[in-house]
Amino acid sequence: MTENFGDRLKAARKMAGFSMDRLAKEAGGIVTKQAISKYEKNKMKPDSRVLNALSKALRVKAEYFFRDSMVSLSGLEFRKKSKLAKKVEDQIKQKTLDFLERYVEVEEVLNQKAEYKNPLFGFKIKNRDDIEQAAKKLRSKWCLGDAPISNLMELLEDKGIRIFEVDVNDEFDGLSAFVGDIPVIAVRARNDLVRKRFTIAHELGHIMLDFSATEDQSQERFCHSFAGALLLPENIIYAELGQQRSKVTLWELKKLKGIYGISIQAIMARAHNVGIISDYSYREFCIILNKKGWKKIEPGTYEGKERPNRFKQLVYHAVAEEIISFSRGAELFNMMLPEFRRRVQIVS
């Protein structure tokens, strides 16, 4: 058992969203809250029977407690942070840390660390015009032109940004952080596709943009504007809606949503930001939005696909080449061995 067993137990407990009392109950009453406290403070360690009960209650393999490496997040940015309970924040943070730990491990095994370089390094954000220029510069550096970004998750993974879909029930959209020089974006797995894309683009703003010349209270608004500018380029929205409008039809908004994977709310905010519609027209739209309940479920569909695949690809590669065992692959995926074997079908 590692010297940092207590830290790992505490992290697993927070991942599960358990208090010490709850963990003691879930473990079947064979361990007390006081004992768990001592375990977490590294004042004592459990025997094998208690360790197995804790593993089962926390839904992690016993091997989890034997890992030596522990990563730490820096520059952590939660979206909608004020609405999250501290327990939920801790749960999301620990799940993200656990994912990064497993991700870094398999990268090291294969010697395939994806390098991240910020194309916007040194570009300071002072106002909304700078946001527009930053989005244009990024699209240019990444050779995207004005085309729709069909798989944003895959694109960012190719650029060295790790993407994690976290399964939580609370009012969480996304977070961004660094582990050393590795950027990570976590997004709520159960969000609809369009909302996921916007959240990821928003968190990308937190990772890439230099706000040292900006007032702190402007950062969230600017990251929203950056997400809109990245997903729906200025040239396109002008070409589709014109330079100035007093009214916009729902058909036009649904068309843009279906092609560019951005919500009609974000499209109208973008139209307002670039001066296509007036303050009055935007307020009228917001009134309609509330009346029709479109904040929760809005019209229009986007049929794209968004899945982070790099971690899965690395693990499958390592298993196929027998660099790691099926058992280790199952642990990295945090699943039972029979299920992992069913998923991995080696054909040659």
In this structure, the answer to whether residues 157 and 63 fall within a common structural domain is no
pLDDT on residue 164: 93
Residue in the block written with tokens 């099926």: 326
pLDDT on residue 138: 98
Looking at 70, 103, 125, which one is the last position of a domain?
Answer: 70
In this structure, the answer to whether residues 146 and 59 fall within a common structural domain is no
pLDDT on residue 139: 98
In a domain, 104, yes or no: yes
In this structure, the answer to whether residues 86 and 31 fall within a common structural domain is no
pLDDT on residue 275: 96
Please give the tally of structural domains in the chain.
3
Looking at 27, 48, 70, which one is the last position of a domain?
Answer: 70
pLDDT on residue 149: 96
In a domain, 1, yes or no: yes
pLDDT in tens, 66-112: 876 666 767 777 765 557 788 888 888 888 888 988 898 899 899 99
DSSP letter (8 states) at residue 174: E
In a domain, 89, yes or no: yes
Task: Identify the bridge partners of residue 186 per DSSP, sorted by sequence position.
Answer: 164, 175
Name the stretches of the chain with pLDDT < 70: 1-2, 68-71, 73, 79-82, 170, 216-217
Instruction: Give the strand pairing for 162-166 and 174-179.
Output: unpaired
| H/E element, 267 | helix 264-273
Phi, psi (5° rounding) for residue 51?
Answer: -60, -45
Looking at 36, 51, 70, which one is the last position of a domain?
Answer: 70
pLDDT on residue 214: 83
In this structure, the answer to whether residues 186 and 289 fall within a common structural domain is yes
pLDDT on residue 299: 96
In a domain, 224, yes or no: yes
In this structure, the answer to whether residues 240 and 333 fall within a common structural domain is no
Query: Which structural domain, as residue segments, surrounds residue 76?
Result: 72-308
Give the dihedral of Cα atoms 58, 61, 66, 68; nearest 10 deg. -80
pLDDT in tens, 223-261: 999 999 999 999 999 999 999 999 999 999 999 999 999
In this structure, the answer to whether residues 147 and 6 fall within a common structural domain is no
Q: Output the six-digit token pair for 180.
A: 């050393």
In a domain, 348, yes or no: no
In this structure, the answer to whether residues 147 and 260 fall within a common structural domain is yes
